[in-house]
């Protein structure tokens, strides 16, 4: 482990020299890339230096303890501190997801269960909006297709850090937390439309995509087919009167994105391009990394009650994450945005699996 750290320290020093050269900043894209890597390595370098200093402190305390037993407690204190730093360093060396600093586009789709599923999709949207608010993130609904009873057949929302364009600290982006939400979410409760008081089971699918920046995905105008059509559904004066809705098809891949929520055709085109770019980034990452491909494909294969990652049981006020065995009886609070303990259980399980694989 420590041989790898020494190499990273050398890389960190090299990056520091490069970033001190004004000529490097003439190429903004390259400067951003170097800055990002430098920021990723800084916590590792800082922790390793603290680990080394703690080792020196242990040796010093042991020398004093040989003459004065009162220093034995200090030896134990420093040894405990070094164990903490060793574990922190091991976690920092776990291979990280390169998309962790990115913002996301989150899609929620109603599945089996009809109107009840659409209402549950609305509950999930509210949960994520509340969680984003608690986390200090910004949200923007890009496209929404409402159901007759007030839920959502499908909805797409952008979630981003306050500054936009990703996190200010490595690994603290929206994707680092919300990537664990992709999959089928199952709900068990008495629907509002149920007159006999029977508990029904329905499901909604959640798909989470890291939002791509212009530098992430190159899109050529000649590769796009842009169709305009008349918007449908509730809306402003432009709905059903002008061809403002936009559907964009990426011809090489067949990936499609559409938007009709905005008032103008230009605004809808910009939003559809944003969705398309995120979807193409996911496709590119799948092709580049087979493991990532398997993970993303498994998010939502079919919105079926049997293919679930999580169950929301209203009668018992229970939430269960079936991937990591997490269970809690505070469903009402989770739906109000207190999602961190559920997500942290997934983060911890993921880190433990990566640590085990690295050993």
pLDDT of 301: 47
pLDDT of 56: 94
CA-based nearest residue to 176, from 120, 133, 137, 122: 137
Q: Which residues touch 266 (CB under 8 Å, ≥6 apart)?
A: none
pLDDT-based confidence at residue 336 (cuts at 50, 70, 90): very high
Percent of the chain having pLDDT more than 70? Answer: 86
Residue-wise pLDDT for 156-177, tens only, equals 999 998 765 554 454 568 999 9
| pLDDT at 335 > cutoff 90 | yes
pLDDT of 58: 95
Determine phi and psi for 304, rounding to 5 degrees: -115, 145
pLDDT of 215: 53
- The SS3 assignment for 302 reads coil
pLDDT of 302: 47
Q: Is the distance from CB of 13 to CB of 101 less than 8 angstroms?
A: no
CA distance 118 to 317: 20
pLDDT of 295: 47
Residue-wise pLDDT for 227-283, tens only, equals 998 876 554 444 455 678 999 999 999 999 999 888 888 999 989 998 998 888 888
Percent of the chain having pLDDT more than 90? Answer: 53
CA distance 220 to 293: 24
pLDDT of 214: 56
Residue-wise pLDDT for 61-97, tens only, equals 999 999 888 889 999 999 999 999 998 888 888 877 8
Q: Which helix (H) or strand (E) holds 342?
A: helix 340-358
> What is the number of other CB atoms lying within 10 angstroms of the CB of residue 120?
25
pLDDT of 292: 42
pLDDT of 164: 54
**For 142-153, what is the mean pLDDT?**
89
Residue-wise pLDDT for 100-127, tens only, equals 888 999 999 998 778 899 999 999 999 9
pLDDT of 123: 96
**pTM for the whole structure:** 0.69
pLDDT of 1: 63
* Higher per-residue confidence, 130 vs 7: 130
Kindly write down the DSSP assignment for every residue of 233-271, as one continuous string.
SS-STTTTTS--EEEEEETTTTEEEEE--SSSHHHHHHH
**For 344-358, what is the mean pLDDT?**
84
Q: Which domains does the chain have, with CATH numbers?
A: 2-92 (1.20.58), 104-354 (3.30.70.1660)
CA distance 102 to 158: 11
| pLDDT at 59 > cutoff 90 | yes
CA distance 144 to 122: 10
> What is the number of other CB atoms lying within 10 angstroms of the CB of residue 334?
21
Q: What is the mean pLDDT of the chain?
A: 85
CA-based nearest residue to 275, from 221, 211, 225, 180: 211
pLDDT of 355: 77
* Higher per-residue confidence, 69 vs 338: 338
- The SS3 assignment for 183 reads strand
């Amino acid at each position: 482990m420590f041989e790898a750290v020494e190499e990273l320290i050398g890389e960190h020093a090299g990056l520091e020299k490069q970033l001190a050269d004004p000529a490097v900043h003439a190429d903004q894209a390259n400067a951003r890339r170097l800055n990002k890597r430098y920021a990723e390595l800084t916590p590792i370098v800082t922790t390793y230096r603290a680990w080394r200093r703690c080792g020196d402190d242990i040796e010093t305390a042991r020398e004093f303890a040989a003459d004065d037993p009162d220093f034995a407690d200090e030896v134990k204190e420093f040894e405990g501190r070094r164990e903490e730093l060793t574990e922190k360093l091991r976690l920092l060396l776990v291979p990280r997801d390169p998309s962790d600093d990115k913002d996301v586009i989150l899609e929620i789709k109603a599945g089996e269960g009809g109107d009840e599923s659409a209402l549950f999709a609305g509950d999930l949207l509210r949960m994520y909006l509340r969680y984003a608010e608690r986390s200090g993130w910004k949200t923007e609904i890009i496209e929404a297709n409402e159901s007759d009873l007030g839920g959502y057949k499908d909805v797409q929302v952008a979630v981003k850090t306050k500054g936009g364009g990703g996190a200010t600290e490595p690994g603290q982006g929206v994707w680092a937390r919300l990537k664990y939400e992709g999959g089928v979410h199952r709900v068990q409760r008495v629907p509002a439309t149920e007159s006999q008081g029977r508990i029904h089971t329905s499901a909604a699918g959640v798909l989470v995509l890291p939002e791509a920046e212009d530098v992430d995905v190159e899109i050529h105008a000649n590769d796009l087919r842009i169709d305009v059509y008349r918007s449908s559904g509730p809306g402003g004066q432009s709905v059903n009167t002008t061809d403002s809705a936009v559907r964009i098809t990426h011809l090489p891949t067949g990936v499609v994105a559409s938007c009709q929520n905005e008032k103008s055709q230009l605004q809808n085109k910009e939003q559809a391009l944003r969705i398309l770019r995120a979807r193409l980034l996911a496709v590119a990452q799948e092709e580049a990394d087979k493991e990532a491909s398997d993970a993303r494909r498994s998010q939502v294969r079919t919105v079926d009650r049997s293919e679930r990652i999580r169950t929301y049981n209203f009668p018992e006020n229970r939430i269960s994450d079936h991937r990591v065995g997490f269970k809690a009886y505070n469903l009402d609070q989770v739906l109000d945005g207190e999602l961190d303990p559920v997500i942290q259980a997934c983060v911890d399980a993921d880190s433990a699996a990566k640590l085990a694989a690295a050993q």
